[in-house]
């Protein structure tokens, strides 16, 4: 039987670092999914585990169908167990409601919510007791965020979905972990998310932003411990606590001040 780890958004950033950690965990194969084939091949070249590169856009449902067809082929031959699914692929834009393209809003919902759910629902039949799912959410999931409203809402959706799915899958012995990091300084997200239609910078600075390698390591360790939620740094940990006790209206006003600093 083949034990496989599937990682979406694996071509760079956090997904790349999580791939390198999974590479050390004894899987028979790693299946890496992202749109950029050349970058996936670059990640593959740094792995010791056998890697299958799957270039494709997960907002296209046929890509997910193709992945299931590959799994079905493995199942028919030797048997297959998706030991780990990491839903890391994501998309974000920063800006006021009238500074965001409708296409950007739609893509955030399609990739961050719909694609993650469809991947999970499609892969679960190929998972067994002891397998697990890691959904990369965000500290943005803990409260509403003006000027990050659609992105934060998609991450809140994924967070709630992860928490509920975990309870459903506990009897099957399949764990689900929601990973909720703060800003990560050395991924492309901060650089690309601010590219709205006007070019206005709605968030001036990203103080205390963290490094992708540390986030990946903490996320993987938390998953292996079976934690339902992993806050990967001090800021996201404190934010999660604060959001539980401080009303959302007040949290949004605090955010309004911080984003201008």
Residue 74 a catalytic site member? no
What are the b/e assignments for 114-141, b being 16+ CB within 10 Å?
bbbbbbbebbbebbeeebbbbbbbbbbb
As a 3-state breakdown, the chain gives helix, strand, coil percent values, each rounded to 5, of 50, 15, 35
Which pair of structure tokens corresponds to residue 142? 């803990």
Choosing from 74, 151, 159, 161, the catalytic residue is 151
Q: Is 51 helix (H, G, I), strand (E, B) or coil?
A: strand
Residues in contact with 143: Cβ distance below 8 Å, sequence separation at least 6, in sequence order: 152, 239, 243, 248, 251, 252, 255
- Tell me the C-alpha to C-alpha distance, in Å, between residue 22 and each of 84, 93, 219, 250: 9, 29, 12, 40
Query: Which residues does the annotation mark as catalytic?
Result: 151
């Amino acid at each position: 039987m083949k034990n496989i780890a599937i990682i979406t958004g694996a071509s760079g950033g956090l997904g790349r670092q999580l791939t390198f950690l999974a590479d050390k965990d004894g899987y028979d194969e790693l299946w890496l999914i992202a749109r950029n084939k050349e970058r996936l091949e670059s990640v593959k070249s740094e792995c010791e585990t056998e890697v299958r590169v799957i270039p494709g856009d997960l907002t296209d449902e046929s890509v997910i169908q193709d992945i299931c067809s590959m799994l079905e082929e493995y199942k028919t031959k030797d048997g297959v167990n998706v030991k780990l699914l990491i839903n890391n692929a994501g998309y974000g834009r920063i800006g006021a409601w009238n500074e965001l393209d409708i296409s950007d809003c739609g893509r955030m919902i399609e990739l961050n919510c719909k694609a993650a759910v469809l991947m999970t629902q499609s892969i679960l039949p190929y998972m067994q007791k002891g397998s697990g799912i890691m959904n990369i959410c965000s500290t943005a999931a803990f409260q509403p965020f003006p000027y990050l409203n659609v992105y934060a809402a998609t991450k809140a959706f994924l967070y709630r979905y992860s928490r509920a799915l975990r309870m459903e899958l506990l009897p099957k012995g399949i764990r689900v972990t929601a990973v909720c990091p703060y800003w990560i300084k050395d991924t492309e997200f901060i650089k690309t998310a601010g590219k709205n239609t006007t070019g206005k910078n709605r968030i001036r600075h990203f103080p205390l932003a963290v490094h992708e390698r540390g986030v990946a390591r903490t996320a993987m360790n938390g998953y292996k411990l079976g934690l339902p939620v992993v806050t990967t740094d001090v800021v996201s940990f404190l934010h999660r606590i604060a959001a539980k006790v401080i009303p959302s209206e007040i949290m949004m006003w605090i955010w309004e001040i911080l984003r201008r600093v």
